[in-house]
Amino acid sequence: MSEQAQDARRKDPDAPVWFITGCSTGFGRELASAVLARGYRAVVTARNPETVRELAEPYGNRALTLALDVTDGDEVRAAVHVALLTMGRIDVLVNNAGTGSFGAIEESDDAEVRRMFEVNVFGLAHMTQAVLPGMRSRRRGHIVIISSIGGIRAFPAVGFYNATKFAVVGLSESLAMEVEPLGIKVTIVEPSGFRTDWAGRSANEAPNEIADYADTAGANRRNIRDHSGKQPGDPVRAAEAIIKAVESDQPPLHLLLGKAALKGAHYKLDLMKRDFDAWQETTVGADFPEGE
Ligand code: NAP
């Protein structure tokens, strides 16, 4: 979009409204900054709204900052209610808030795993449910889900994180089929490693380590931590890519971000095809014979 068109949008009191979760750091913060700079209005949310105050301030009433922990159902409903009262509508919901947890499946702590599911899966689902009535009544809207390449292929040490993101992909693909006839679009964003706080402060570690997993989960735990801050993915470019997808006439259902995401997704497709082809006879042989 041209600078002129962005300028016109900046003066438009009715410019489209983005609602973004988890804006304190990382993708959420960069996306909030980028959409506001482009003239959109935005509801910039964070567990601690102080973290986004400075970001939103220059935009006056084009930006609304709200406290939002996505695991708190009352806060989710209240935030959507206040956003609709203040901004009039929500055009784009970005379900970004997310957290990680590192450890082999056997090493992982149940309470920590459940905490991660509350944020990554149920928080995201509740946000989506809260925003859908407004989008349905207007017969338009776009729901962006920040999943991960880890929602397409798995890695050792992040099995439960993979489980949350696989869950989110299943939920989002189903959602897309349900809401497409109602004029609502869904885009699942699947990044590989990006330079945010995700692999640092936002991820917890399983408390114990079992020596038998040292070469698999143990090695990958350390690998992810060691690469934190050195990932090839640029969150500013990711924000631009997400805006481009939302502004497109034909937005993708799946948007991979980063070279490793592209490589990982093709690896998974090839792996599945190999098994499907090699076992095809057994697969089709499991049905009743034709006519029975
Ligand atoms: P980040 O910088 O650590 O940001 C995570 C954000 O989620 C923070 O703003 C955090 O807020 C927020 N959050 C955590 N729990 C929350 C809750 N209960 N309610 C509301 N907000 C909460 O990491 P990021 O990479 O930008 O993460 C954003 C999304 O990208 C996540 O869904 C993550 O899984 C996904 N992702 C990241 C990568 C990567 O390599 N960076 C790759 C694939 C997918 P606080 O400041 O309050 O903790």
Tell me the pLDDT tens digit for each residue of 208-229: 999 999 999 999 999 999 999 9
Could you say which of 24, 165, 185, 202 is catalytic? Answer: 165
How far apart CA 191 and CA 225 sit, in angstroms, is 17
Closest atom, ligand 1, to C-alpha of 70: 19
pLDDT tens-digit series, residues 3-32: 888 888 888 889 999 999 999 999 999 999
Closest atom, ligand 1, to C-alpha of 95: 32
Amino acid at 40: Y
Q: Has 165 been annotated as catalytic?
A: yes
Model pTM?
A: 0.97
Tokens representing 257 are: 């971000």
CA of 28 to the centre of ligand 1 (A): 7
What pLDDT sits at residue 3?
A: 81
Question: Is the dihedral angle over the CA atoms 98, 120, 23, 263 positive or is it negative?
Answer: positive
Q: How confident is the model at residue 265 (pLDDT cuts 50, 70, 90)?
A: very high
Q: How large is the average pLDDT for residues 140-155?
A: 98
How far apart CA 183 and CA 124 sit, in angstroms, is 20
Could you say which of 24, 147, 172, 192 is catalytic? Answer: 147
Q: What is the CATH number of domain 3-277?
A: 3.40.50.720
Q: Which residues line ligand 1 (CB under 6 A)?
A: 21-22, 24-28, 46-48, 68-71, 96-99, 119, 123, 146, 148, 191, 193-194, 196-198, 202, 231
What pLDDT sits at residue 11?
A: 84
Tell me 120's DSSP state. Answer: I
Q: How confident is the model at residue 45 (pLDDT cuts 50, 70, 90)?
A: very high
pLDDT tens-digit series, residues 50-61: 999 999 999 999
Name the residue with higher pLDDT: 207 or 272: 272
Amino acid at 43: V
What residue owns the CA closest to ligand 1's atom 21?
22
How far apart CA 25 and CA 203 sit, in angstroms, is 14
CA of 150 to the centre of ligand 1 (A): 14
CA of 140 to the centre of ligand 1 (A): 27
The domain spans of the chain are 3-277
Could you say which of 161, 172, 185, 192 is catalytic? Answer: 161
What pLDDT sits at residue 109?
A: 95
Contacts of 102 (CB under 8 A, 6+ apart): 157, 158, 161, 203, 204, 205, 206, 217, 220, 221, 224, 225
CA of 242 to the centre of ligand 1 (A): 16
Q: Has 147 been annotated as catalytic?
A: yes
Nearest residue to 153 via CA among 274, 266, 278, 241:
266
Which of 31, 99, 189 to mutate for ligand 1's pocket (most ligand atoms within 8 Å of CB)? Answer: 99
- 227 pairs with which residues across the strands? none
Q: How large is the average pLDDT for residues 226-236?
A: 95
What residue owns the CA closest to ligand 1's atom 46?
24
Burial 256-289 (b: 16+ CB within 10 A, else e): bbbebbeebbeeeeeeeeeeeeeeeeeeeeeeee
Contacts of 124 (CB under 8 A, 6+ apart): 70, 95, 97, 145, 168, 171
How far apart CA 94 and CA 52 sit, in angstroms, is 16
Looking only at the bridges linking them, the beta strands covering 184-191 and 100-102 are unpaired
Q: Annotate 26-60 with DSSP letters as a single string.
A: HHHHHHHHHHHHTT-EEEEEESSTHHHHHHHGGGG
Query: Which H helix or E strand runs over 177?
Result: helix 159-179
pLDDT tens-digit series, residues 156-205: 999 999 999 999 999 999 999 999 999 999 999 999 999 999 999 999 99
- 101 neighbors 203 (Cβ within 8 angstroms): yes
Q: How confident is the model at residue 292 (pLDDT cuts 50, 70, 90)?
A: confident
What pLDDT sits at residue 65?
A: 98
Sheet holding 184-191, edge to edge: 63-67, 41-46, 17-20, 92-95, 141-146, 184-191, 254-257
